[in-house]
């Protein structure tokens, strides 16, 4: 064997040795998953060739970054692809339905300038509107009736011209 062949064979052997010594994806997956889940329990991780891909949803940007930082700290991780989606928790404001007595008085007051319309409050807290009205006048009346916070404004029997 010539010295040139020997040097090439030795370089190849060293390259194989060092590539085999680095952390394997399978070994890193367990460590990455544990680390990421401690920062963000709803986040999944996948390791391929030392690249960690994070997916899932979190409620804020800080948790998203904490998961990424947790993955970056693991030995052997080359880079992190952070595909985590931030979906803030939504808060709903409860709708307050006006009591029927106050609602009935509000309907009387709201419809006093609309003699062509009859509006009543039924037992379910709905305002039932009947009669005939122009589209422009109906828009204004509807705004006034909605402001009374009924369960519903039922205009199924109303004729709009």
In this predicted structure, the answer to whether residue 55 has a pLDDT above a threshold of 90 is yes
DSSP 8-state code for residue 23: P
* Helical (H) or strand (E) element with 28: helix 25-39
Report the C-alpha dihedral over residues 109, 111, 113, 115, rounded to 10 degrees: -130
In this predicted structure, the answer to whether residue 93 has a pLDDT above a threshold of 70 is no
Q: What is the pLDDT of residues 130-140, one digit of tens each?
A: 999 998 999 99
CB 57 within 8 A of CB 42: yes
In this predicted structure, the answer to whether residue 99 has a pLDDT above a threshold of 70 is no
**Going from the N-terminus, what domains does the chain have, and what CATH number goes with each?**
25-91 (3.30.1340.30), 100-160 (3.30.1340.30)
Buried b (16+ CB within 10 A) or exposed e, 62-101: ebbebbbebbeebeebeebeeebeeeeeeeeeeeeebeee
Torsions phi, psi of 12, nearest 5? -65, -45
In this predicted structure, the answer to whether residue 17 has a pLDDT above a threshold of 60 is no
Residue 96 tokens, joined: 């307050």
Locate tokens 């040795």: which residue? 17
Q: What is the pLDDT of residues 103-123, one digit of tens each?
A: 889 999 999 999 999 999 988
Specify the range with the lowest mean pLDDT, choosing from 7-21, 39-53, 66-80, 140-154. Answer: 7-21
- Position 23 scores a pLDDT of 67
In this predicted structure, the answer to whether residue 7 has a pLDDT above a threshold of 90 is no
E runs forming strands in the chain: 43-48, 51-58, 79-86, 117-121, 126-133, 152-160
- Position 96 scores a pLDDT of 58
DSSP 8-state code for residue 112: T
Share of the chain above pLDDT 90, in %: 51
CB 111 within 8 A of CB 90: no
End-to-end C-alpha distance for the chain, whole angstroms: 102
- Position 154 scores a pLDDT of 92
């Amino acid at each position: 064997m010539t010295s040139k062949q020997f040097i090439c064979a030795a370089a190849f052997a060293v390259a194989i040795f060092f590539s085999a010594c680095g952390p394997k994806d399978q070994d890193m997956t367990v460590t990455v998953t544990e680390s990421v889940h401690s920062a963000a329990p709803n986040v999944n991780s996948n390791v391929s060739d030392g690249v960690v891909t994070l997916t899932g949803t979190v409620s804020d940007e800080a948790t998203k970054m904490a998961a990424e930082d947790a993955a970056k700290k693991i030995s052997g991780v080359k880079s992190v692809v952070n595909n985590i989606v931030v979906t803030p928790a939504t808060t709903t404001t409860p709708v307050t339905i006006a009591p029927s007595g106050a609602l009935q008085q509000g309907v009387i007051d709201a419809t006093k300038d609309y003699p062509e319309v009859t509006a009543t409050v039924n037992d379910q807290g709905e305002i039932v509107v009947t009669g005939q009205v122009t589209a422009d006048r109906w828009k204004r009346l509807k705004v006034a009736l909605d402001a009374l916070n009924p369960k519903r404004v039922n205009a199924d029997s109303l004729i709009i011209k």
